[in-house]
Structure formats: C-alpha cells, structure tokens
Amino acid sequence: MKSCFHKNIGYLVSATLLILVSIFSCNQKKENPIAQEYQELYTLFINAKKSSDKLAYSNTLLQKAKQEKDTAMILAGYRMFSVTYTDEKVLLYSDSIIALKKDKSDINYPAIAYEKKGDFFYAKRAYKLALDNYLQFAYYAKKHNQKQMISNANYNIGIIKRRTENLKEALELYQSNYTFTKQNKDKVSTRTYLNSITAIANVFNDMGEGDSASYYNKLGYKEAIRLKNERFRKHFAINQGISEYHCQKFKIAIDSIIKYIPHYENLNDYDKLSFAYYYIGEAYWKLNKKEIAITYFKKVDTAFEQMQSLFPKLQKAYVRLDEYYICLLYTSPSPRD
C-alpha cells in the first residue's frame, strides 16, 4: 500500500528536521545576527503553507548564502528546494548537493540527497534508478555510521526488492529495519515503528506464509491499539484477512477483508483496495464461486486504471479473467444456423 502495503515516503527521516540539522551545523553562534537571519528564513519556510512561499524563502536563503559563500547554508538552501519541488527540479537541487559533498561527505550529505532522488524515481516507478540511489544513500549512511539512516535505507531497498519480487532479500532488509525500530521505539516515530512491522507481514503474505504473516499482523494490531493509531489498526486487520487466505481459511478471509472495503473506498485508497479486491476474488475462486470472484477481479482492473500501477502478484487477476471468459466461450451453446 502506498501508505502501508508498500512505500510510504512519510516513513523517512523528516526532511525538515534534516534541514534544521544543516542550519545548526554551520558552527555559528545563536547570537550571531547572520545566523539569526538564516534561522528566521528557515522558520518562515517551515511555517509557510503555500509552495510558492516556501520557494520564495528558499530562494532568499540560497542567494544570501551564495553571496556570503556560506557552504553550509548553500546546502540548506538546495535541500529546501529539493523537498519543496515535486517535478524534475528535485533532481536538479539534489544533484547540486551531491556535487558539493560527494567527495567531502558528512553525517547528512550527500546521503539525504541520494535518498530524495530515490524517492523521486520510486514515485515515477523507475525502480532501477530508485534502487541505484537508495544504494548510494546506504553507502554514505554506513560510511558515517548513521544507524537510523542505515535502517531507513534497508527499508527503502527492501521496498524495491519486494516490488521486483526478490522476496527473500526484501525480508532480510525488513527484519534488519524492524530490529532497529524495536530497539529504538522511543526515538523513532510511531509511523516508522508500525511500518517496520507491517513490511514484514506483507512479505510473508507475498511468500504465501500465512502463519508467519499472521504473527506480525497480530503484533502490529496490538501495538497499533496501544499506540492509539486507528489507521494502522485497520491495516493490520485487513492484512490479517490476506493471511487467512494463505492459511486456506477462505470464508474467514473474505469476512475479514470485506468489512473494511467501504472505509477504503471512501478514501479512494486504490492501493489498498487493489490488494483487498484481489484476495477476495481469489478466496471466492477457491470456493468455486467464480461469478462473484470475477466481479472482484474486475475491480482490480478498475484500481489499476486509477493508479496506472499494479503490484506484480495482483496481475494474476487478469489471468483469472482470461480463464473465466475463455471457459465461457467454449461452454456456451452454439447459436443455431
């Protein structure tokens, strides 16, 4: 799910936090008027609601930094631009960071620039380019022993591995990510922690290992309740329905998944819905209720039309549709001459 089933950009280390780190890493004292001017621009940037305002503050800060030849602030300005733009300019400003820091890396740069490029390419479904950049992100994170960044890199690379059906590799990366978040629950966000659990459950479901997936779904469900996160509670509940399917409990799977369909339909969350429709269809197919199954496989196609993307596993819905209509073609009575 782009929220939970697969990649969640919001899972990553806060971009604004990293900008803040950059701004205060320039070794300027707080009472320094120049440093205070940068801080004021940064605060305006953070509080701005419109992208146009954020871009204006970014530009003011960057031009000031260039005039003063302040490299730390130039980097901050590039970073502010890269997290504000959503088009190819993301790459332009990320590459500007990389050009400045590739041979003079530190705890943040150029690692986070590579991560940002990876996110951009992932959103464009350019998975090979995304992976290349996430691997660079991991390289610099490891070089400077940035454990949270390493964990994030494992998660990101795991997403690509899962998307390309390298499930064992994805599982190893997700397990490493979960080990970190479990040990640092007081330091990472609730979203980061719960995402690390659902990632493992998702891969086990992809591998058809319902019992293993169920363990993590139940763990995540309990944790979501403890942390009062209703969004994840619903996710783990519907994901458990998929695990029931893999445990050959088809009626339970249908009941577990179908109750959440209206919720996700109201949200137009086609990512989650594509999985839900597919597994309901598969469960009905296994119960030999193929007419009902077909209605859900058609809904998978509707979800695809909305997203223009579909997880590889879900493409079997089209195989089922072909099987069904070919069977109808050959079993229907011939028209009279």
In angstroms, the CA 219 to CA 203 distance is 15
Place of tokens 């809904």: 299
CB atoms within 10 A of CB 189: 14
Residue pLDDT, tens place only, 113-130? 999 999 999 999 999 999
pTM of this structure: 0.88
- Tokens linked to 294: 């077909």
Question: What local confidence, expressed as pLDDT, does residue 219 receive?
Answer: 98
Instruction: Categorize the per-residue pLDDT at 6 as very low, low, confident or very high, splitting at 50, 70 and 90.
Output: very low
DSSP state of 235: H
Structural domains of the chain, ranges and CATH numbers in brackets: 1-163 (1.25.40), 165-247 (no CATH), 248-337 (no CATH)
> Would the pLDDT of 31 be above 90?
no
Cβ contacts of residue 287 below 8 Å, gap of 6+? 250, 251
- Tokens linked to 157: 């690379």
In angstroms, the CA 86 to CA 78 distance is 14
In angstroms, the CA 308 to CA 120 distance is 17
Residue pLDDT, tens place only, 131-146? 999 999 999 999 999 9
Residue pLDDT, tens place only, 238-260? 999 999 999 999 999 999 999 99
In angstroms, the CA 155 to CA 171 distance is 10
In angstroms, the CA 108 to CA 142 distance is 11
Residue pLDDT, tens place only, 303-325? 999 988 889 899 999 999 999 99
Instruction: List, as own/partner pairs, every contact residues 152-158 make where C-beta atoms lie below 8 angstroms and the sequence separation is at least 24, other chains included.
Output: 152/11, 152/12, 152/13, 152/115, 152/177, 153/115, 154/180, 155/11, 155/195, 155/196, 155/199, 156/7, 156/12, 156/115, 156/118, 156/122, 156/130, 157/131, 158/199, 158/203
Question: What local confidence, expressed as pLDDT, does residue 175 receive?
Answer: 98
- Tokens linked to 290: 């193929």
User: Does residue 296 sit in helix, strand or coil?
Assistant: helix
DSSP secondary structure string, 166-197? -HHHHHHHHHHHHHHHHHTTTTS-HHHHHHHH
The overall average pLDDT reported for the chain is: 90
In angstroms, the CA 288 to CA 308 distance is 30
